[in-house]
Amino acid sequence: MQAQVSILLDLRREKGEALYPLKLRVYYRGRAVLHPTVYDLSKIDYDKLEAKRVSYSLSEIREKIYDIEFKAKVATKEIVPFDPEKFYETFIRGNVYFRNRNKPAKWSGAQKDPNDVPEEWKRKFAIFKELQSGLDQISAVYLVIIRSLLYQARVGTADSYQSSYNSLKAFRGNVRVSDITPQF
C-alpha cells in the first residue's frame, strides 16, 4: 500500500486574523501525520485556490502548494517500503516550505473518536453528524469507509458512498448488516 498525501487547511487552530495553517497530510495504513507548511490562508482564500482566476499572490501560493504535493507524492514512491520517519528526514527536514521541528511529528494512530474529523467533512458528509447506534449497523460500515476515503483524498468516491448510504437509509432505515440479504 502506497502512502497518500494531500494539502489541507487545518481549521483546528486559528493563527490570528482568521488565518489557518496549510499542512501536508501523509496517510499510511490508517495513520496520518500533518506537516505544517510555511503558508497560512484564510478559509475564503483556501476556497478560491481552485478558481481559474485568482490574485497574483494567491496564484503563486497555489503553484507552490501543488509543487509541494507533487514532490511529496514522488518522495513517498521512492521510499520502499514506506517509512514515515524516513520521509520526514528526506523530504520535510530542511525543506524551506515547511516549518521544521526539532523532532519529527508523532505518527498518530487512526482517529479514535468518530466525531474527531475536520469541520469541512462534517458540513459536507451528513453521516458524521449522525448518532452512531451500533457496530453492526450499516451506518458504522459506511462511516469507516467514507472516513478512509477522505483521508486518502478520494472525495468524489466518498461522496458516492454518502449518496449510497442516503438511498439505503431512505429505503429501510439504518438496518443491521446481517439484515441485508438477496431478498432485501
**Structural domain contains residue 102:** no
Residue 26: per-residue pLDDT: 92
**Structural domain contains residue 99:** no
**What confidence tier does 56 reach under pLDDT thresholds 50, 70, 90?**
very high
Cα–Cα separations (whole angstroms), residue 75 to 4, 39, 175: 11, 21, 43
If one counts the domains in the chain, the total is 2
- Whole-number percent of the chain with pLDDT over 70: 90
Residue 41: per-residue pLDDT: 93
| Contact present, 36 and 97 (Cβ < 8 Å) | no
**Structural domain contains residue 104:** no
| Contact present, 21 and 40 (Cβ < 8 Å) | yes
Residue 110: per-residue pLDDT: 44
Domain that holds residue 31: 4-92
**Structural domain contains residue 109:** no
31 and 78 co-located in one domain: yes
Question: What average pLDDT does the segment 55-78 reach?
Answer: 93
Asked if residue 66 has pLDDT above 80, the reply is yes
123 and 80 co-located in one domain: no
**Structural domain contains residue 106:** no
What are 18-32's pLDDT values in tens digits?
A: 899 999 999 888 888
**Structural domain contains residue 72:** yes
C-alpha 138/C-alpha 121 separation (Å) is 19
What are 97-116's pLDDT values in tens digits?
A: 998 765 555 554 444 444 56
What are 116-166's pLDDT values in tens digits?
A: 677 778 888 888 888 777 778 888 888 888 888 887 778 889 999 999 999
Distant-in-sequence, close-in-space partners of 136: CB < 8 Å, separation ≥ 6: 176, 177, 178
Question: What average pLDDT does the segment 75-81 reach?
Answer: 88
76 and 14 co-located in one domain: yes
**Structural domain contains residue 37:** yes
Residue 46: per-residue pLDDT: 92
Residue 179: per-residue pLDDT: 85
**What confidence tier does 44 reach under pLDDT thresholds 50, 70, 90?**
very high
Query: Which of 120, 118, 111, 106 lies closest to 148, judged by CA?
Result: 111
Residue 107: per-residue pLDDT: 54
Asked if residue 80 has pLDDT above 80, the reply is yes
Task: Tell me the CB-side half-sphere exposure of residue 143, using CA atoms within 13 A.
Answer: 23
Question: What average pLDDT does the segment 35-40 reach?
Answer: 93
Record the pTM. Answer: 0.56
8 and 88 co-located in one domain: yes
75 and 144 co-located in one domain: no
43 and 86 co-located in one domain: yes
**Structural domain contains residue 98:** no
